[in-house]
Structure 1
Amino acid sequence: MDELPIGRRVAYWRGRRKMSQQVFADRLGKSKSWVDKVERGVRRLDKFSVVYDIADVLQVDVTLLLGKEVERKPEAQNCIDQVEVEEIRAALERYDQMSAFFQAVPHSPPLPEMRKAVSHAWLTYQHAKYGVLARALPKLLRDAQAADSAHANSDEASHAAHLLGQVYQIASSALRKVGEHELSWLAADRSIAVSQRAGDQLLAGLASYRVGSALLALGRVRPSLEVNVNIANRLAPIGPERPKAEQLSVYGMLLLNGAMAAARIGDTATVRDLICGAEQASLELGGDFNYYWTSFGPTNVQLHRCATAVDLGDGRLAVETHLSMDKTGFQAMLPERRAHHYLDIARGYTQIGDVEKAGEMLLEGDRLAPSEIRCRPLAHEVLSDVLRRTRGTPPAPIAELAEQMGVGV
């Protein structure tokens, strides 16, 4: 799209936003005729102030209008590409709550409609449909921000804040998957502030989990360990009363995330302690559940045993743990969790020199949730390693996957 004149780019993004020329013109304070002439190239856009106004209405970075857009790759159609990253970035850079202090709050969808959209986004993420999610996230972010502003002084304020906090967490998780770690941290940090306004300790705890994940991805391992353990300690079930299932789930996930950070610095003792604490919580919970979208339970604890073993360099332990897992519990896990696990076990097999089994694990993950394998930089690294260490010609399915992912030896 780089070669298109700016008017055509304006028309393209207006179409992406599903705005008519009249609606677009009204929001710009221009006539429909003016918009039509700009899009056809009859009228030039020679004032930067007008270009910036257009970018603001279309909710895109101005560089996209000026022809700096990164070309979409066909193989990335089910992933989050740079166009969608920039749209999400633009949504995260909005400060609607501050704007609402000075002017009327923009229209927002009804909260029941928002709840359905947020639940659908969570399920889309947990089924690893990252391309679908990426195309929905910018609008969902804007709608949730508008709803939060619109209900700021009403009885529904905490409910609107809760929904926005969830949307920030969904965005953080999706961005981290595709390597946008700084943006992932920003979204998670926003969720902490919003979750506090929502008055929900567990949502704030999960926001801390997302912050810990983003910090870990950024290589900030010790801060990641600290934030997970500190918040887990505050949510720890104590006292004679039986803890709620939701509390056990969030508490357990914080411990597991802390274990991942501890593994990254080779702290085997801390990994063991945190995994054991999470295992105890999962036994109290009594099974695998998806409270607060955590997928927490005994099976997820086992998945993290494998993942931490891999990060500690003990591929053999990871593979042995994988082979001894409860197959029924594993099959009941959502696709994102299972495909993520196959990627971890592929890494484990490479550590013990079995590149053939590593390739099989990548193929299993790809069959289950293609985006979890094809969209993640880590999976590209593992596949490249498998290809490099394969003697002779790689098996046809691996060669085909490599071609589709654009991975060479």
Structure 2
Amino acid sequence: MPGATAAALGQRIETARLSAGLTRRQLEKLSGVSYSTIRKVEGGDRSPGDGVLDALARALDRTPEDLLEGPGRTDSRVHRAIPELQRVIATYDLPEDGPVRPLPLLAADVGQAVEDRVQSQYARLAERMPPLLGELFRAVDQAQGVEREQAARLLALAIRSADATAYKYGYQDLSARLVELMRWAASIAANPALEAAAAYVRMETFFSAGQLAPGLRSLRAAVDRMPAPTTELLAAAAAALHMRAAVAAGRMRRPDEAREHLRDAEVLSRHVREGLYDGTAVGPDSLEIHRLSVAVELGEPRDLREAVDAAARWAPSRDLPAERRSHYYIDLGRAQMLLGRPQHAQESLLVARRIAPQHVREHGQVRTELATMVRLSRGRDEQLLQFARWARAV
């Protein structure tokens, strides 16, 4: 077992022990595993064999898989709806026969799906998307000319909403497939701004695979393909690409590149009113939220302090989508943790939870931060433990 895996496993075992309210001596008595072994395993200095892992799991009322793989998925209507979504997209180019409503009616349903996505209503999305996607696949298949382009645009936006659910709930292969289908639909729509939105979403695939360098190249290529920002929609599309590229460069610890992308996004955002453009929130407020994200990804103390100080003077407007506002407070919590302020971080995550509970509950970084807080508190903060259990972080 590689060292990094041993360290992560050790942290999960320690978090599970603390959440159960056990000391190492108590775990020794319950499991039969020696104190010194438990200390080495929790510290990441030793990889437990199968017998030790089984004994620790039994004593902690967990399964070995729970400890090896980390927190499981939350129970949700989403998981019951996923097979139908997979069935529908399998025949995207050979849609089943059925009715197709006029485009204005389809547009209204797609608009609601976009709203559900940005407000983090993932369970509702999961149930509503399969029939809507099936109808939109038929619309694209049957239409011609301008009507086909319009139907394809609606399809691309609907696929993006479906992808948000798949991505948030851990269906990475399905998410990657949906991203490719979004790109396919955007190409039919022959809409540069929509194709830029598809490139923006595609970065999720690179993030989840840890392929940041090719992901950043794909964003740069998408920027290069953009026509001049002669309209607000084109300026918003280009700004969104630069904001996402800034986050990617920040995660790669490339501060100069990250700040250059932020500057480019700022110039473009001056000509963009805050709002949704092809499903992406863009504007001055969204830019401020991305500044915080970049500071967290870079992890430089000076930038983090400046970002946290700025948060004392500015907060995202309630007019912004819930998902974007909650993401701001998640990143603020991450910044506060990096600065050694776990109590402030806990408060920020609680704000994020009030804004968009489904988003927070399924966010991997939230689970990581909560598990760290449990270890730092030695499992003595009952409110924190309840929060961590709700998010399946322990």
* CA pair 80-118 structure 1, distance change in 2 beyond 3 A: same
Structure 2 residue 326 is matched with structure 1 residue 339: yes
Q: For structure 2, which runs of at least 5 residues remain unmatched after alignment?
A: 1-71
User: TM-score, normalization: structure 2?
Assistant: 0.76
Aligned to 2:28: none
Would the aligned equivalents of 2:157 and 2:278 in 1 still touch at CA under 8 Å?
A: no
Aligned to 2:106: 114
Q: Which whole-Å deviations, capped at 9, do the CAs of 1:86-106 have from their partners, x for residues lacking one?
A: 2222222223x3468xxxx43
Aligned amino acid, residue 401 of structure 1: F
Structure 2 residue 273 is matched with structure 1 residue 274: no
Aligned amino acid, residue 75 of structure 2: A
Aligned to 2:158: 167
The 5-angstrom pairing of residues 52-201 of structure 1 reads 76-77=75-76, 80-81=78-79, 83-95=80-92, 97-98=93-94, 105-151=97-143, 153=144, 155-201=146-192
Structure 2 residue 211 is matched with structure 1 residue 220: yes
Tell me by how many angstroms 1:177 deviates: 2.2
The 5-angstrom pairing of residues 310-389 of structure 1 reads 310-314=296-300, 317-318=303-304, 320-324=306-310, 327=314, 329-389=316-376
Aligned amino acid, residue 282 of structure 1: S
Aligned amino acid, residue 205 of structure 2: A
Tell me the SS of whatever aligns to 1:237.
Answer: coil
- Supply the distance in 2 between the matched residues of 1:161 and 1:115 (Cα, whole angstroms): 11
- Supply the distance in 1 between the matched residues of 2:182 and 2:365 (Cα, whole angstroms): 26
Aligned to 2:225: 234
Tell me by how many angstroms 1:208 deviates: 1.1
Aligned to 2:386: 400
- Supply the distance in 2 between the matched residues of 1:328 and 1:364 (Cα, whole angstroms): 12
> Aligned pairs, how many?
322
- Supply the distance in 2 between the matched residues of 1:369 and 1:166 (Cα, whole angstroms): 21
* CA pair 257-328 structure 1, distance change in 2 beyond 3 A: closer
Aligned to 2:279: 293
Aligned amino acid, residue 94 of structure 1: T
- Supply the distance in 1 between the matched residues of 2:176 and 2:207 (Cα, whole angstroms): 10
Tell me by how many angstroms 1:367 deviates: 0.8
Q: For structure 1, which runs of at least 5 residues remain unmatched after alignment?
A: 1-72
* CA pair 328-385 structure 1, distance change in 2 beyond 3 A: closer
Aligned to 2:20: none
Would the aligned equivalents of 1:80 and 1:134 in 2 still touch at CA under 8 Å?
A: yes
Aligned amino acid, residue 135 of structure 2: D
- Supply the distance in 2 between the matched residues of 1:329 and 1:99 (Cα, whole angstroms): 42
Tell me the SS of whatever aligns to 2:271.
Answer: helix
Would the aligned equivalents of 1:309 and 1:317 in 2 still touch at CA under 8 Å?
A: yes
- Supply the distance in 1 between the matched residues of 2:123 and 2:277 (Cα, whole angstroms): 25
* CA pair 350-317 structure 1, distance change in 2 beyond 3 A: same
Tell me the SS of whatever aligns to 2:275.
Answer: coil
Q: 1:204 aligns with which of 186, 195, 206?
A: 195
**Greater CA drift, 164-173 or 129-138:** 164-173
Would the aligned equivalents of 2:336 and 2:344 in 1 still touch at CA under 8 Å?
A: yes
- Supply the distance in 1 between the matched residues of 2:301 and 2:129 (Cα, whole angstroms): 36
Tell me by how many angstroms 1:391 deviates: 4.5
* CA pair 159-134 structure 1, distance change in 2 beyond 3 A: same
Q: Which whole-Å deviations, capped at 9, do the CAs of 1:160-209 have from their partners, x for residues lacking one?
A: 11111111222223322223222222111111121111121111111111
Tell me by how many angstroms 1:307 deviates: 0.9
* CA pair 88-98 structure 1, distance change in 2 beyond 3 A: closer
Q: Which whole-Å deviations, capped at 9, do the CAs of 1:354-396 have from their partners, x for residues lacking one?
A: 1111111111011111011112233222211111112461152
- Supply the distance in 2 between the matched residues of 1:356 and 1:296 (Cα, whole angstroms): 31
> What percent identity do the matched residue pairs reach?
23
Would the aligned equivalents of 1:263 and 1:309 in 2 still touch at CA under 8 Å?
A: yes
- Supply the distance in 1 between the matched residues of 2:198 and 2:245 (Cα, whole angstroms): 14
Aligned amino acid, residue 380 of structure 2: T
Aligned amino acid, residue 76 of structure 1: D
**Greater CA drift, 267-276 or 320-329:** 320-329
Q: Which whole-Å deviations, capped at 9, do the CAs of 1:48-83 have from their partners, x for residues lacking one?
A: xxxxxxxxxxxxxxxxxxxxxxxxx99633x732x2
* CA pair 404-98 structure 1, distance change in 2 beyond 3 A: closer
Aligned to 2:288: 302
Would the aligned equivalents of 1:316 and 1:352 in 2 still touch at CA under 8 Å?
A: no
Would the aligned equivalents of 1:259 and 1:271 in 2 still touch at CA under 8 Å?
A: yes
Aligned amino acid, residue 114 of structure 1: L
